[in-house]
Chains A and B, each alone.
With several copies, the nearest count.
Chain A
């Protein structure tokens, strides 16, 4: 039993942390999200160069790491730096490509290509199995019609992995270039500084080789994506804790640091307890993902996303409250972390969604 990071993993975290500290900033993040492509291409290239993209994937498919423990190390660090680059979507898409088109991964790992999944639709809410987009086959080609909702970093992508109902009634996954005729992206900034888009497909023609496989390929991608979000939320929560603690110690009101108020001290302790539990939930999810028990994996992933969703928001709200008025302003880095902490719950299924999944799997 060992909860420490291996030397390799620690080295990667150190490099990534230093890169974020020295080369990334919230102003760069803010500017990038205002317009397409919605992220900073220079940052992306550098993330690829220092090996972060490669570390998402297995050596078998050309990556450098790729275990669930690598993922939590990377995403906790990205969360701590509030990096708004398409790492999580690329992890998901890459996970699908690794199974289906490993030849495409090389360009992804080098940073030349960005592939993101487009799996959710407006009518489906958090359920990716509700699909209305259609892929009609004629001869050796497919024609795709439909729309995908809140596709994270769609504008940054060269390729989308799109779920669509085939003539058989089953749902398949298709590789669709974002610049294909009939693909329309309506991009927007997110309330958390992550850019996304509504994506519509009107008679989009793709070849037979665009079909990657069926929807079940998405399961592993969604589990890894959820783990990544959980780890990111953990990094954010740790950052919020540090910032709030610092504020309690330095902010003077009525002649003494506000941290001398016992009521705030006890609430701060509750925040710390929550964050320790969040960390354990993330570790549990990683361990389950590392194992082979399908049910345990699904349960631990949902347990983690539930824990992160509820506690992450509590931490964010307490951080804002304890900062008082200044905590209401965009000027403060803290509020950007808090916004992201809240919105993470709205990606890949919120706490309610995952609690229900957890309960259903217990009954199963």
Chain B
């Protein structure tokens, strides 16, 4: 048993730290640290910096422009970037579509789409969920009917994250209504600027606009945009769902969130002393910090097993459950920490930066919306109830 990282891994970690120190604009990291929303331009700015370094798709195989990083390297990179408050890279193209293309796409598709991702030419979004389907992803009703060299797509997708910025969507469509419902699903790439595509915002309970509904009315998609074989889309989608599972623990985000929470608890005064010295609050902080330290090692154990060739299986559902609970708990504690200033709803200008002074402490404005927004963690990506069903069946055999 050896919990330390190898000298090579340590050196890699230092390299990541140095890079972040010199290349990550403080303007961006400060927004991330304090929970502000980034504009599309800011996200693209950071992705361009990574692309220049060759790290935008570092987890890809080298032949496609990646670095061929090991799982341990990817873990370290995730932790370091989160703790440095680097913006999150939009994962839909780089981490979700690309692995599918690399595994199942045609040579033409790989040659066309992968370099464009590295170059920042496309903003991809994901079209899996449909209204009323919830965690039942195989419940796909959006129809794609073959018509010569094209598919004609009709239907609706929902919970499309950042779909308002996207020019391309990869999605599951139904090409066959007979037989078991998993069989008639295909994997299609759709131009969001094509006629018949309409994007409507969904305002979430934090007041934010992050997700969307997408409507397709007679949208014509070239048949060359079909990935793999018709009717095998469910297989590809499942491959993607098990990809990058360890990131679900969100250790880096939780560590950064906890550090921010502590700084707030030091600044807030309760009963004449800093809140962090309040016995009950300190106990809650300590509990979540301990849970997080435990989860970090749980995650490392899964990473280490994967590094030795073991595929992370249903155990990674444990990471999703505990990781989401911890992040939610940190966001709840932050809400409690700011006391009455949980109340003011920050106007848009506050979110984007303005010259008007903040209402209450400058850190307070985003806290309640963040708490509300993070309720999603236990719902999306396969609700925690679904994860428990998976563990119960796959791990426990119940």
Asked if the two chains touch in their complex, CB atoms less than 8 Å apart, one says yes
Q: Give 20 A-B contacts (CB < 8 Å), ordered by A residue.
A: A1-B303, A2-B1, A120-B340, A125-B340, A126-B339, A191-B345, A245-B396, A254-B136, A266-B388, A270-B388, A278-B294, A279-B298, A280-B296, A283-B3, A325-B129, A331-B202, A342-B371, A346-B339, A352-B336, A362-B286
- Residue B111 at the A interface, CB < 8 A? no
Instruction: Knowing A249-B398, A273-B322 are in contact, say whether A325-B340 is a contact too (CB < 8 A).
Output: no
- Which residues of the partner chain B approach A338 to less than 8 Å between Cβ atoms? 205
- Which residues of the partner chain B approach A123 to less than 8 Å between Cβ atoms? 269
Interface contact B359-A330, CB-CB below 8 Å: no
**Bound Cα distance A264, B385 (Å):** 9
A320-339: CB near B (< 8 Å → 1, else 0) gives 11001101111100010011
Instruction: Knowing A1-B2, A272-B396 are in contact, say whether A328-B345 is a contact too (CB < 8 A).
Output: no
Query: Could you say which of A261, A284, A352, A359 contacts B297, with CB atoms under 8 Å apart?
Result: A284
B299-319, CB < 8 A from A: 300-301, 303-305, 307, 315, 318
- Which residues of the partner chain B approach A281 to less than 8 Å between Cβ atoms? 290, 293-294, 297
Query: Could you say which of B5, B211, B291 contacts A277, with CB atoms under 8 Å apart?
Result: B291
A281-304: CB near B (< 8 Å → 1, else 0) gives 101101100000000000010010
- Residue A25 at the B interface, CB < 8 A? no
**Bound Cα distance A208, B10 (Å):** 51
- Which residues of the partner chain A approach B345 to less than 8 Å between Cβ atoms? 188-191
B236-292, CB < 8 A from A: 268-271, 277-278, 280-283, 286-287, 289-291
- Residue A122 at the B interface, CB < 8 A? yes
- Which residues of the partner chain A approach B375 to less than 8 Å between Cβ atoms? 317, 320-321, 327-328
- Nearest first, the 4 closest Cβ-Cβ pairs linking A and B are A280-B297, A265-B392, A335-B205, A330-B203
Number of A-B contacts (CB under 8 A): 225
**Bound Cα distance A132, B185 (Å):** 66
B362-392, CB < 8 A from A: 368-369, 371-372, 375-376, 378-380, 383, 385, 388-389, 391-392
Minimum CB–CB distance from B236 to chain A (whole Å) comes to 22
**Which of B158, B278, B294 neighbours the largest number of chain A CB atoms within 10 Å of its CB?**
B294
Interface contact B1-A5, CB-CB below 8 Å: yes
**Bound Cα distance A338, B344 (Å):** 16
Minimum CB–CB distance from B372 to chain A (whole Å) comes to 7
Minimum CB–CB distance from B354 to chain A (whole Å) comes to 13
**Which of B283, B289, B341, B379 neighbours the largest number of chain A CB atoms within 10 Å of its CB?**
B379
Task: Select from chain B the residue with minimum beta-carbon distance to A306.
Answer: B290
- Residue A158 at the B interface, CB < 8 A? no
A109-162, CB < 8 A from B: 120, 122-123, 125-127, 149-150
- Which residues of the partner chain B approach A103 to less than 8 Å between Cβ atoms? none
- Which residues of the partner chain B approach A343 to less than 8 Å between Cβ atoms? 342-343, 368
Instruction: Knowing A191-B344, A277-B298, A325-B380 are in contact, say whether A1-B286 is a contact too (CB < 8 A).
Output: no
Interface contact A303-B290, CB-CB below 8 Å: yes
Minimum CB–CB distance from A247 to chain B (whole Å) comes to 11
Interface contact A277-B322, CB-CB below 8 Å: yes
User: Which residues of B does A touch, CB under 8 Å?
Assistant: 1-6, 9, 72, 129, 133-136, 158-159, 202-205, 207, 211, 268-271, 277-278, 280-283, 286-287, 289-291, 293-298, 300-301, 303-305, 307, 315, 318, 321-322, 335-336, 339-345, 347, 359-360, 368-369, 371-372, 375-376, 378-380, 383, 385, 388-389, 391-392, 395-398
Interface contact A325-B205, CB-CB below 8 Å: no
Interface contact B134-A325, CB-CB below 8 Å: yes
Query: Could you say which of B159, B339, B371, B372 contacts A325, with CB atoms under 8 Å apart?
Result: B159
User: Which residues of A does B touch, CB under 8 Å?
Assistant: 1-6, 9, 69, 120, 122-123, 125-127, 149-150, 186, 188-192, 194, 196, 198, 245, 248-249, 251, 253-254, 259-266, 268-270, 272-273, 276-281, 283-284, 286-287, 300, 303, 306-307, 317, 320-321, 324-325, 327-331, 335, 338-339, 342-343, 346-347, 350, 352, 355-356, 358-359, 362-363
**Bound Cα distance A3, B207 (Å):** 40
Task: Select from chain A the residue with minimum beta-carbon distance to B3.
Answer: A287
**Bound Cα distance A255, B188 (Å):** 26
Minimum CB–CB distance from A38 to chain B (whole Å) comes to 12
- Which residues of the partner chain B approach A363 to less than 8 Å between Cβ atoms? 277
**Bound Cα distance A30, B318 (Å):** 37
**Bound Cα distance A149, B2 (Å):** 38
Instruction: Knowing A1-B5, A127-B271, A331-B203 are in contact, say whether A280-B322 is a contact too (CB < 8 A).
Output: no
Task: Select from chain A the residue with minimum beta-carbon distance to B210.
Answer: A328
Interface contact A355-B286, CB-CB below 8 Å: yes
Interface contact A328-B295, CB-CB below 8 Å: no
11 new A-B contacts, CB < 8 A, other than A1-B4, A188-B347, are A125-B339, A126-B339, A253-B135, A268-B396, A277-B295, A281-B290, A325-B159, A330-B203, A342-B372, A347-B343, A362-B286
Interface contact B4-A196, CB-CB below 8 Å: no
**Which of B136, B293, B295, B339 neighbours the largest number of chain A CB atoms within 10 Å of its CB?**
B339
Minimum CB–CB distance from A356 to chain B (whole Å) comes to 7
- Which residues of the partner chain B approach A5 to less than 8 Å between Cβ atoms? 1
Minimum CB–CB distance from A123 to chain B (whole Å) comes to 7
Query: Could you say which of A150, A300, A331, A335 contacts B344, with CB atoms under 8 Å apart?
Result: A150
Interface contact B340-A248, CB-CB below 8 Å: no
- Which residues of the partner chain A approach B301 to less than 8 Å between Cβ atoms? 3, 279-280, 283
- Which residues of the partner chain A approach B296 to less than 8 Å between Cβ atoms? 280
Task: Select from chain A the residue with minimum beta-carbon distance to B9.
Answer: A1
**Bound Cα distance A266, B384 (Å):** 10
**Bound Cα distance A356, B278 (Å):** 10
**Bound Cα distance A227, B344 (Å):** 23
Query: Could you say which of A122, A126, A260 contacts B360, with CB atoms under 8 Å apart?
Result: A122
- Which residues of the partner chain B approach A329 to less than 8 Å between Cβ atoms? 202-205
Interface contact A328-B205, CB-CB below 8 Å: yes
Query: Could you say which of B9, B291, B341, B391 contacts A269, with CB atoms under 8 Å apart?
Result: B391
- Which residues of the partner chain B approach A356 to less than 8 Å between Cβ atoms? 271, 280
Task: Select from chain A the residue with minimum beta-carbon distance to B369.
Answer: A191
**Bound Cα distance A192, B341 (Å):** 12
Interface contact B340-A283, CB-CB below 8 Å: no
**Bound Cα distance A356, B275 (Å):** 13
Minimum CB–CB distance from A32 to chain B (whole Å) comes to 14
Minimum CB–CB distance from B123 to chain A (whole Å) comes to 22
Instruction: Knowing A338-B205, A356-B271 are in contact, say whether A150-B340 is a contact too (CB < 8 A).
Output: yes
Minimum CB–CB distance from A163 to chain B (whole Å) comes to 15
